[in-house]
Structures are given as structure tokens and as C-alpha cells.
Structure 1
Amino acid sequence: MSCAFVNLKPGVGKTTSAVWLAHALHESGLSPLLVDGDPAASALRWSELAGGFPFPVIALPVGDVHRRVNDFLGNRQAVVLDAPQLEDHPRIARSIMRYAGEWIVPVTPAPIELDRMAPIRGEMADVQSLRAEPARSAVLLNRTNRPDATRTGPDADAREALTERGFEVLDTQIARLDLYSQSFGNPVRAKGSAYTDFAEELIKRQDEA
């Protein structure tokens, strides 16, 4: 299982999502490798401040990530990749997308964020053409107003708008909570959080594929 968090710009929750998902996978019994592909090395720094994660974190902010990840994989069952923003580091981000079998795009349900989705589709199409097998892609609604999907409100409107534009939207969504937004540098306990549901949904998608 390999999953990459990608977006055009920074500040959308890629690193937070990658770190929390890796912990949720670890707590589910899988053995993840967390790959920090961002030159800012935020995920690696987080692990250092937290006194270490219960799984390895490696920094690979290079343009040939797809060729090098397996050198560090060993017998681990999952790889979570934190990609840098495509607009500033396209070579690294595209290399990460060449490796990962699942591309997750964290999106806040706000009109300005939805308007930025069209260029992402073009980037995905370009990278798909470089792959031997197509990757799966899905949107993760992040920093939502409610923890669960509802039929009304801005979260539901964003879900509907993205679906109409041809994006698959994951059932799981991540609420706007201090538990996530202020967790940088601290130990993570994903059990009971939305990221446990997120991990379970990704594992199910993997099994279905």
C-alpha cells in the first residue's frame, strides 16, 4: 500500500494528514514507512520534536523519489508520502506521484480551494502518462465544519461540487479541530480519531483494487 498527499500549494494539511495517517496505520497493525519529500522537512522535524515515531521517517526531497523509496522499504507493508506543493517543487512532487498507488488531495471546503482543483486534474493526467499502471486518486475533505458527512451545509456543497467535476471524494472527512491543527511536534495517538476511519477506508480501497 502506498499513499501520497499532494496539492498545488502549501498549507492544506498534507503533512498533518501524512503523519496522522501513518500513526493510524501503525496502530491498525500495519508497518508503515513515512517518506518526507518536502524540502522543509516538516514531518521529519515533527518526529524529532516528538521524541521519535514508532515507525521510520526518512527525508527524500529529491527528483527521483520513485526510484529510491524501495531501498528503505524492507518488509514494511505501507508507505505514506508527504509531497511538497506542486507549484514550487514540481519535480519532487511528480516523482512521488509516480511511486504512490493512491493520490490523496486534502481540500478545505471553501470556494477558493475548490477553484484550484482544475489545475490538479491536469497535473494528475500528466503523471498518469508516465506510469506503467494508473494510480487511484481521491479528495479528502479536510478542516471541515462537521466531523461526519452531512446532506446540507458547506461540507456537503463542496462534496457535491467536487463530485460533479469528476473527483472521487472519500467518505471520511477530517473536522477542523485543535487536536489535529495544534499537534505538530507532539506525540500522536490516532486511535478513536477520524484518521482511524481514514486508514480503514484506504485499506478497504486497497483490497477492492
Structure 2
Amino acid sequence: MGLLDILLGRTKPVAPDLDRLFALPSAAITLQAAMGFAPTGRGAVCFATVEGAAFEQTHREVQALLDADAERAGSPVELRRDDYGYSWLVSRRSPDQLPQLVNDLHAVNSSLEINGFGPQLLCSLAGFADDSGRALALVYLYKRGTFYPFAPLAQGGERRDNALELQVRSVLAGDLRIEQDLSRWFPVWGAPGL
């Protein structure tokens, strides 16, 4: 970063650190103990839709890599597109397999990054729920290297529980690198990992 960048207020972008995903299992223990939210076993990686043979080959490689895991029998990774034009690679595990789910998310992100699709990666998320059925996702922003909670309300369309999100932020501040800029806590309506 040069002097002109400093004078103009430009900052160097944070390099993605996919290894931060491995903090999710310990954060999940904190979240369950403090707030009663347990992993659902669902997670997803979101990226800008990519067409072409190179992406299809990468998707087949990711599928083969994850299908090689014997515990995944009957739970293939699926590719879905949402109403906003983004693609999601969705992984499902049993709720007690959060470390394996995190491995899946890391493998998908790494494969896309290695094959040149890093600029299209947006976020990854892991789903949680409490006994009353409230949904929560811990979202990892690929380009920021940070996490934030997303808590959609079950009723009333596209509304979120901001108070719950702020509580989760406080509870997990010691476990995860939380995104400080609340304007970057983007809603992920209809995310298939929730």
C-alpha cells in the first residue's frame, strides 16, 4: 500500500483465511451452552453463478471428493440457485457432525479457490436452531475473513431478529472473528443451509 492509498483512505483488502472456518465447532459449544442453539448439520457455500466447462469440472471434483467420505452415504452435496441469481453448494450431515460439515465447507471453498473461482466466492454458512425452532446461521464472509450471525424470523416474510444477532455477536466474540461493520451483515434470505 502506497502513500497515495493512505492519503485517499484506501485500505488493503483482507486476505481470505479459510482456516478460520475450523473455529466453528468450538464456537458451537459456546453457542449451545450460552444460548441453546445446536448445529442442524446443514451448511452451504455461496458464490456468484458461474457457467462453463471449467466450473462443471470443478463441481464434479468437489462432489467426488466429498462423496469419498463413507459417512456421507446418501447425503450428496447439491448445487442450487437462489432467487437472487447466486449459486449454493449445500452439504448435509447429521447434527453431531459439525467438524465434518466444516471440513466439507473448507474443501468446497478451497477447491473453488484453487481452480480460479476465488473472486466469485461470497460466503459460507453453518445452520443452527434452538428448541423453540428459531433458526440461526453463522456466516463467514470470504472476502472479509469474518463471521456474523444471521437470524431470520419464522413469520412475516423477510424479517430478521436483530436483537438475537447482537446477543450472538456478544457471546461468540471470544471464539470467532466477528465482522465489526454491521452494514456488512447481509441477509441471506432463502439460504439453503438454514
Band of TM-score, shorter chain: 0.3 to 0.5
TM-score by length of 2: 0.33
Of structures 1 and 2, the larger Rg is shown by 2
